[in-house]
Amino acid sequence: MTAFSRLPRPHCISIMAMLLVSPLTFANIATLPRSSELVTIDGLMDEEAWKYATQIKIDTETNPGENIPARVETIAYLLEDGQSLYIAFDARDPDPQAIRAYLQDRDTAWNHDFVGIVLDTYNDERRAFEFFANPLGVQMDLTNDDVNENEDESWDAIWDSAGHINEVGYIVEMEIPLNQLRFPNTGGKQTWGFDLLRFYPRDRRYRFSNNPMDRSVNCYLCQFDKIEGLEGVQPSRDLEIVPTLTGSRTDSTDEPGTTPLQSGDMDAEAGVSIRWGITPDMTANLAINPDFSQVEADVAQLDVNNQFALFFPEKRPFFLEGADYFSTPIDAVFTRTVADPDIGTKLTGKRGNHTYGVFAAQDTATNLLLPGAFGSDSTSLDADNTTIVGRYSRGFGDASSLGALVTSRSGDDYHNSVGGFDLQWKISDQHSIQAQYLHSDTEYPDEVATEFEQPTGSFSGAAIHASYEYESRNWYGWLQHVDRSAGFRADSGFVPQVDINQQLIGGGYTWHGEDDDWWTRMQLRGDWDITHDDSGRMLEREFEAYFGIGGPMQAWYQVGVLSRDTLWDEVLYKEQKISFYTEMQPRGGLLLGVWARYGDQVDFANSRLGDQLRVEPFLDWNISRHLFLKFEATMLQLDTKEGRNVFDAGVYDVRMTWQFNRRSFLRFTTQIQDIDRNPDAYIDEVDANTRRVGRQLLFSYKLNPQTVFFLGYSDNHLDDDDLDRLEETDRTLFLKVGYAWTP
């Protein structure tokens, strides 16, 4: 089936005229011209201003080919008007009907054709902003922390884009307001690093750039060309005010199947978020009575035969902005610990080599993660707490930094404070070191300490992370040491295991295919680690190895083996497992794959060794330009060594989305968790059958990430040994409106 119908040809004559008028730029430093001509972002490029734009060819294939000529022609056009940066891409294609482009929500079109720009606005080769759009203008934006090698798509800027498919390819236009970027206050011209990119997914996924990439260098931003311009432009001190109104009503029952749902009251709350550029180098955020609830349901995860708490990523906008400022090797800052605050404030900034951030929140609930060597517990206190987090780092050398972090969380009869230092040292293009030391001081309420067997009174602990990495074109390796004492707590972060001392060594080799090979890349990697507790007992010793190969249809196949000795209930068990993973795109708009593992597994509930099969299939399918299906599942089966079934469990997450246009969609989500246990195979009494079903219908309209309208309905059902069928436990109607206003 054709991914889209042929669209009318745009103003190609104007484009050809531009090619004749403005010479192409090949220098390492390009000039960014200023224009007073109006530019309309419509994907047509028929404005007079584009004739005077700097033109740069995206002419180098960096993956899978290694700095060879690009297979298709792409030219980028860049200019500015003192308020915004404008970029247009003329992306030619020998077969326009093969272009992969669909209407989807922002930050989801990574398997499509798309183009974009990466901007190192401080030109310090440490952090960058990334802006991409597919041929229909669907936006994707990220921050890039090159020091920690982390891209974060949770950051959302307010910018404009439009795309148009034509008979020779497609055109994408972008307008990026300068008030959405952070850059130095130089008073003269700005010099930024930049990378222009085009991704071209066909039988292989090709990456084209204006910058050749040296695979023997372990940094990305350090390989950028530079662009010079924006004379006299100052970082924004704009004020952005986002009032919000939320309303919801929940009907629920504590005894499903016996007591009908009780009608809940309509709960309406108004709030406001404020973003203020205090100085060119400092930005403040304030949220008063914020709606910190999530509109979208978390991806369903299976919590069966697990030792430690499951991780769910942050999705709330207030915490996502500048989140990379608080990132360190130890996850000492995890903002989902802030559950229901009345007020939140944040201050972030960068001046020269100095980067800093602080946030504070007054929370009406106190969620606690109680870690241990063999597992973690959690509880929630119906009590207020005040959370304060501060972070400072000073850059030195090439993409290196020395930083400090402090966190504090306190309430009635409770406190937790953490402080320490960290180092990111890029020794050379291949060698780097990370290190962090943290010390904590904690006191829990007496009832929590007693119930969960925690220390009484005030206690303290320390955590150390130290790692070395080597990375070249083919070889890579790493060493790591982790030490967390039994008394260490990071209640503002996510540290589910303590009382461990771990050493790890690993490495691997990558083969890169030639253009005429059927495969694109092969990789062999493995690691060995050993973990003890503070008393010297060995908790775990593990070796694992994997071999993978990439082939046609953008496929990746990987097999692996694992051998592990693990201590549980004073017995050292031997686990041996094999695994298989594959993903592929057999056609445009269809991604499918599966991960499976089979082998020995400790049955933690019954303290014995069993046989486990774990299968995790997934599917992303653009059924049409507007209709998108996403499916993820985890299926788990555990048997005793004698062949008796212990449990069969599965969790299924199905999301069907009708995308009306780039800004609005209607999504229906169904999540099912089904657990069948064999009570005869358990030491303690358990339910034989538990089934939970949750559904959500959501309409979303986003003029931009802050001007939004959500309307939704959700319900939950339960079936267990005490019920004869699925019974409704609750249902909720909700509405949220937000508007971004700039005075």
What integer is the mean pLDDT of 342-354?
Answer: 89
Question: For residue 597, what pLDDT is reported?
Answer: 98
pLDDT in tens, 583-602: 999 999 999 999 999 999 99
Does 12-229 carry CATH code 2.40.50.140? no
Closest listed residue to residue 150, CA positions, set 319, 327, 308, 28: 327
| Domain extents in the chain | 12-229, 306-498
**249-258, 360-369, 496-505 — which one is most confidently predicted on average?**
496-505
How far apart, in Å, are the Cα atoms of 297 and each of 338, 586, 674, 733? 18, 29, 18, 14
Between CA 92 and CA 175 the distance in angstroms is 21
Phi-psi region of 189 (alpha: psi -120 to 50; beta: other; left: phi over 0): beta
711, pLDDT greater than 60: yes
Q: What is the DSSP letter of 497?
A: B
8 A C-beta contact, residue 576 and residue 540: no
Which run of H or E residues covers position 174? Answer: strand 169-177
pLDDT greater at residue 15 or residue 95:
95
Per the structure block, which two tokens stand in for 56?
């740069």
8 A C-beta contact, residue 733 and residue 249: yes
Between CA 576 and CA 597 the distance in angstroms is 10
25, pLDDT greater than 70: no
Q: How confident is the model at residue 637 (pLDDT cuts 50, 70, 90)?
A: very high
Q: How confident is the model at residue 512 (pLDDT cuts 50, 70, 90)?
A: very high
Between CA 191 and CA 306 the distance in angstroms is 51
**How many other CB atoms are there within 10 angstroms of residue 97's CB atom?**
13
What backbone phi and psi angles, to 5 degrees, belong to 242? Answer: -125, 90
8 A C-beta contact, residue 71 and residue 93: no
Question: For residue 235, what pLDDT is reported?
Answer: 74
Peptide bond into 96 cis (omega under 30): no
Between CA 635 and CA 651 the distance in angstroms is 7
Per the structure block, which two tokens stand in for 650?
């599965």
Between CA 491 and CA 336 the distance in angstroms is 11
Q: How confident is the model at residue 116 (pLDDT cuts 50, 70, 90)?
A: very high
What backbone phi and psi angles, to 5 degrees, belong to 21? Answer: -80, -45
16, pLDDT greater than 60: no
Closest listed residue to residue 591, CA positions, set 619, 563, 565: 619
Closest listed residue to residue 207, CA positions, set 521, 481, 454, 678: 521
How far apart, in Å, are the Cα atoms of 400 and each of 127, 144, 426, 458, 477? 12, 15, 5, 36, 20
**How many other CB atoms are there within 10 angstroms of residue 46's CB atom?**
15
